[in-house]
């Protein structure tokens, strides 16, 4: 069993990565249904929480059926991070995660996310401020370093563990890489194999199939895997990986009925959570991923991404199920 504070996870847990504009409660609910063991909110700006920004506050929504679930915060100011940790604690997540890995310019320009990799002393101070402000377990997600010339994840891991961080998720790229090239899990394995490191180490980056998940599990010896982009429009990946670990065989591909049910449930929960109009509009970005690779799908996609009527959308789902009932995904 893997332990983070009082949280007990399975032997080799599969985590859903915190993803901006993706990892909201409806999406997390789907991933939980399909085997995710630990999930995180979208990352939340500490400054936004303190200003009581509506968008930041809404990201604090968590539900009991998601547990265990963490809320992820980011920022570059110690006082703001401490205050935001206290705000987060009021909604009672299972843990608080700190983002020191986001490579996006608007975050990095504020001295937050992956920018903190350039100043490990600052990273330690920010993390200490959060740990002192909460009784919840504190974990961190980060990258290998700022660029190939400054890979410092070995120092980062030791110093974070020394001040009380209880788990570390490492994306196998530098900030300079953004999401380009191939993730390098070698340094992640080196951190895991460091005899000083006792906290769980989770690997992240490029896991997009059960075969690759098993290969990386065996090759790099990490404590668990965090899945990000591969789960978008494909929440089945968690149970597919678990099944492959157990049997060495692949589960059958989700059918058109499975995909329609997932998209329909996602839409229903989005409407339930954000209201009719916002739920419908924000769901539009997901349909392409759910129905990828289906021939002649363009007319149905057009309805899904333009209609403002929930009834029309549900009727379109029914038509898709009927028209593509015999379609086999390869």
When pLDDT is cut at 50, 70 and 90, the band that residue 110 belongs to is confident
C-alpha to C-alpha distance for 58 and 217, rounded to whole angstroms = 35
Q: What crossing angle do the helices spanning 120-132 and 78-89 adopt, rounded to 10°?
A: 30
Reading the block at residue 245, the tokens are: 């670990």
pLDDT value, residue 315 = 97
88 vs 330, higher pLDDT: 88
* Length of the chain (residues): 330
C-alpha to C-alpha distance for 316 and 322, rounded to whole angstroms = 10
Domain boundaries, the chain: 2-247, 256-323
pLDDT value, residue 320 = 97
So what CATH class is 256-323? mainly alpha
Residue carrying structure tokens 């998720």: 169
Strand ranges for the chain from DSSP E: 2-4, 7-9, 14-16, 38-40, 44-45, 69-74, 95-100, 138-143, 168-171, 201-204, 224-227
Q: Does the pLDDT value for residue 109 go beyond 90?
A: no
Query: Worst-scoring range by mean pLDDT, 20-24, 53-57, 263-267, 278-282?
Result: 53-57
Closest CA to 273 of 59, 38, 43, 102: 59
Q: What is the mean pLDDT of residues 292-318?
A: 96
When pLDDT is cut at 50, 70 and 90, the band that residue 102 belongs to is confident
Q: Does the pLDDT value for residue 55 go beyond 80?
A: no
pLDDT value, residue 178 = 79
Q: What is the mean pLDDT of residues 302-308?
A: 97
Residue-wise pLDDT tens digits, 129-186 = 999 999 999 999 999 998 888 899 999 999 999 999 999 999 999 988 878 889 999 9
Q: Which of 102, 151, 188, 191 is catalytic?
A: 102
- Give the dihedral of Cα atoms 81, 178, 21, 216; nearest 10 deg: -100
pLDDT value, residue 51 = 85
pLDDT value, residue 276 = 97
C-alpha to C-alpha distance for 49 and 56, rounded to whole angstroms = 6
Q: Mapped to the 3 state alphabet, what secondary structure does 104-164 carry?
A: CHHHHCCCCHHHHHHCHHHHHHHHHHHHHCCCCCEEEEEECECCHHHECHHHHHHHHHHCC
C-alpha to C-alpha distance for 128 and 81, rounded to whole angstroms = 10
Q: For the purposes of burial, counting CB atoms within 10 Å of the CB of 163, is it exposed (0-12), middle (13-18) or buried (19 or more)?
A: middle
**How many beta carbons lie within 10 A of that of residue 193, not counting itself?**
12
Tell me, yes or no, if 102 is annotated catalytic.
yes
**How many beta carbons lie within 10 A of that of residue 5, not counting itself?**
15
C-alpha distances out from residue 171 to 119, 294, 315, 324, Å: 18, 32, 41, 38
Q: Does the pLDDT value for residue 54 go beyond 80?
A: no
The CATH topology of domain 2-247 is TIM Barrel (3.20.20)
pLDDT value, residue 191 = 97
Residue-wise pLDDT tens digits, 114-131 = 788 889 999 999 999 999
pLDDT value, residue 294 = 94
């Amino acid at each position: 069993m893997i332990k983070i504070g009082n949280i007990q996870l399975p032997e080799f847990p599969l985590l859903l990565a915190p993803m901006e504009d993706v990892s909201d409660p409806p999406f997390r609910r789907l991933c939980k249904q399909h085997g995710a063991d630990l999930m995180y909110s979208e990352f939340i700006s500490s400054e936004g929480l303190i200003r009581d920004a509506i968008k930041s506050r809404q990201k604090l929504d968590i539900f009991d059926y998601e547990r265990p679930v963490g809320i992820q915060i980011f920022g570059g100011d110690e006082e703001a991070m401490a205050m935001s940790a206290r705000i987060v604690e009021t909604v009672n997540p299972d843990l608080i995660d700190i983002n020191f890995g986001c490579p996006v310019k608007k975050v990095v320009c504020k001295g937050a996310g992956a920018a903190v990799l350039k100043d490990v002393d600052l990273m330690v101070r920010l993390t200490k401020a959060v740990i002192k402000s909460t009784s919840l377990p504190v974990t961190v997600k980060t990258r290998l370093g700022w660029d190939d010339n400054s890979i410092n994840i070995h120092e980062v891991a030791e110093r974070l563990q020394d001040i009380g961080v209880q788990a570390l998720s490492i994306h196998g790229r530098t900030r300079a890489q953004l999401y380009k090239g191939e993730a390098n899990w070698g340094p992640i394995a080196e951190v895991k194999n460091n005899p000083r490191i006792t906290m769980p180490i989770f690997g992240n980056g490029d896991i997009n199939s059960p075969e690759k998940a098993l290969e990386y599990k065996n090759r790099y010896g990490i404590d668990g895997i965090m899945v990000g982009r591969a789960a978008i429009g494909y929440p089945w990946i968690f149970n597919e990986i678990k099944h492959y670990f157990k049997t060495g065989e692949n589960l059958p591909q989700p059918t058109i009925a499975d995909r329609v049910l997932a998209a329909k449930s996602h839409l229903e929960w989005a409407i339930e959570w954000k209201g009719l109009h916002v739920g419908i509009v924000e769901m539009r970005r997901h349909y392409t991923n759910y129905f990828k690779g289906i021939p002649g799908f363009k007319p149905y996609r057009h309805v899904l991404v333009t209609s403002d009527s929930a009834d029309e959308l549900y009727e379109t789902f029914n038509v898709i199920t009927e028209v593509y009932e015999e379609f086999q995904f390869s």
